[in-house]
Structure 1
Amino acid sequence: MTITALAVLAVGTYLMRLGPLLLHERMAFSDRTVRIVELGAVALLVALVATGTWFEGPEFAGWARPAGVAVAGVAVWRRVPFVLVVVLAAGTTALLRLAGVP
């Protein structure tokens, strides 16, 4: 059963990725539809960042993690290189936790 489910999921994933390549010339979406799909993707990413920032399972993650994400957001806004953004966010979170902030 597990092998069958895995094979079905693998074929489905392959077809979902192959479909747009094969149907690109045959299907056209309105500008409004494209915009809605783009906004939906942004909303999904924002929701994932929010839940990953504020919660650890069903519990509040503490203030150190949101502070690190806020520092990363400011660094991205200031166009800091990505590696430095990650180091700043991790360092902020680590220093706050070292200082006793949950």
Structure 2
Amino acid sequence: MQKKDETTEEEGAMVVLRKKEFLERVVAASGAKRAVARSVTEAVLKELGAALSQGENLVLPPLGKVRVKKQVDRSGGEMLQVNIKRATGSSEAEEGGEKTDDTPLAEAEN
């Protein structure tokens, strides 16, 4: 049975990914124990939220580049409108082997 705010792709609307299902995916992808994955996931989500709340732009491969476009304080909390630019068609980025500022383009010759 679906919850009220969840719809299927066949209906043409988005599927909602909740934290519980997200955590299950992290455990499956990382092979980490559930308790460890939960702790790390909670910390990552907290830091992402704090950075976005402060208006920081994020460059986090393979997620992509995240920029806060609009920020509005509301009585129930804040509303953030963000743009996310993701690399497309790059199997290297999907496999986690993307080049970043800290990754050398080539190995040093001895």
Q: Which has the higher contact order (CA 8 A, sep 6+)?
A: 1
Query: Do they superpose with TM above 0.5?
Result: no
- TM-score, structure 1 length as denominator? 0.29
Tell which structure's C-alpha radius of gyration is larger. Answer: 1
Q: Flag the structure with higher helix content.
A: 1
